[in-house]
Amino acid sequence: MKSEEELEAFFENELSPLIAPIEEYRIAKFRKLKIYLFSALGCSLLTVLGFITKEPFFIMILSIPMIAFLGSAFSLSNKTLETLAIRFKRDILPELLGFMFDDFEYIPRQKIAASVIEESLLFPFTITGVDGEDFMRFTIGETNIMFCETTLCSGNTKNEVSYIFISATFNKYFFANTLLLPRHFDSFFQNMKRHFFQNFNKIKLEDSDFEREFNVLSTDQVEARYILTPSLMQKILEYKMKVKKEIAISFVGNRLYCAIPEFKDLFEPAFSKSFDLGFIRQNYDPIKLYTDLVEDLNLNLRIWSRQ
C-alpha cells in the first residue's frame, strides 16, 4: 500500500493539474451561488415592504424577485453538484484508483446485483429492491475483491438500510455456508428461519472475544472451524476494530462477503469544499479500508490445495 508521502506527491504531481479546471469551475459557480443568495437576501427587503403594506397583491409581486433568486440558487446548486460529481468520478477517482492498484475497474453508476446480495445469505429479510452506485473491483495479489455502495429495501421502500457490500475470493475451498453476524443482527424469528429453512446451526468457538462479538452460524460444524482458524478469528476481530462498525461476514460458495453499515454517501464532492488533499484523502481512506480486508485477513496466503 502507498505511503502518506507517496499520496502527497501523487496529489501534487498527478492530480493537481486534473483538479485545477474542476476547482476553477466550482469556484466560479460557488461565486455565482453567493451572488444569487445575497440578491435573494436583498430582495427579501422588498418582501418585507410588501408585508408592511398588508396588501396581498403587493406581497405577491414584491416576493417574486426573492423567490426567483432562491430558485436560481437551488437550481444552480443541483446542476453544479451533478456536474462536479460526474467530472470527479470520470477524471479524478479513476486516477486515484490507478495510483492505489494495478488492476481495477470502476463503474460509477453500477450497483451490485440483487442475486449476488441474496447469494451472500447475510440478510434474513426478503430484499424487494437494491439501489447503489460506485462499483469498484480490484485484483490484489491472487485475490479478486469488489465493493459497492448499496442500499437495500425490504418490505416496502420505507425500510432502507445502507451498506458497503464487499465480495472477495476466499483462499480455501469449502462447501458449507458460514455466517458471522453481529449480535442482535437477526430477530428471534429470523434466527428460527435460518435454523429451520436454511439448515444453519450455532457454532460454539473457543475464542470468547470472538463469541462476544459475533453470532456464528454454519451448515457444517467442521467446515466452519476449517474456515475460522484461531488466527483468522483474531484477524477478523482486529479488522472489526479498525472499521469501528458492526460488520457482518459470510462465507458462501468459496467467496467471502462482508456488509459494513455506511450512512454517508461516499465519493461525492461538496459544493463548498475545495478539491484539496484533504478531500482526496477522504476518498482514499474508505477505499483503502475496504480493500485492506485482503491484507488484514491474509487472503493472498494460498498454502492449501487452492493455488
For another protein, the binding residues (CB under 8 A) are: 172, 204-206, 221-226, 229, 303-305, 307
Residue closer to another protein, measured from CB, 75 or 229:
229
Closest distance of CB 242 from another protein, Å: 25
In angstroms, how far is CA 216 from the centroid of its own chain?
A: 25
Q: Name the H helices within 88-217.
A: 93-100, 114-119, 188-197, 208-213
Closest distance of CB 182 from another protein, Å: 22
Closest distance of CB 298 from another protein, Å: 11
Closest distance of CB 221 from another protein, Å: 5
Residue closer to another protein, measured from CB, 51 or 304:
304
What's the number of CA atoms in the CB half-sphere (13 Å) around residue 217?
25
Residue closer to another protein, measured from CB, 8 or 206:
206
Residue closer to another protein, measured from CB, 58 or 226:
226
Which residues partner with 301 through β-bridges? none
Q: Give the CA distances from residue 252 to residues 63, 120, 223, in Å, rounded to whole numbers and listed in that order.
A: 61, 6, 11
Residue closer to another protein, measured from CB, 126 or 305:
305
Spell out the SS3 assignment of 151-174. Answer: EEEECEEEEEEEEEEEEEECCCCC
Length of the chain: 307
Closest distance of CB 204 from another protein, Å: 5
Residue closer to another protein, measured from CB, 204 or 244:
204
Residue closer to another protein, measured from CB, 42 or 230:
230
Closest distance of CB 6 from another protein, Å: 30
Closest CA to 49 of 60, 39, 38, 40: 60
Residue closer to another protein, measured from CB, 222 or 241:
222
Q: Please, what is the Cα angle at 67 between 61 and 73, to 5 degrees?
A: 155
Closest distance of CB 79 from another protein, Å: 57
Burial (CB count <10 Å: 0-12, 13-18, 19+), residue 165: buried
Residue linked to cell 408592511? 52
> Could you give phi then psi for residue 19, rounded to 5 degrees?
-75, -35
Closest distance of CB 172 from another protein, Å: 8
Residue closer to another protein, measured from CB, 73 or 233:
233
Which residues partner with 154 through β-bridges? 127, 156
Q: How far apart are CA 175 and CA 255, in angstroms?
A: 11
Q: Give the CA distances from residue 163 to residues 88, 245, 264, in Å, rounded to whole numbers and listed in that order.
A: 22, 11, 10
Closest distance of CB 248 from another protein, Å: 22
Q: How far apart are CA 8 and CA 200, in angstroms?
A: 48
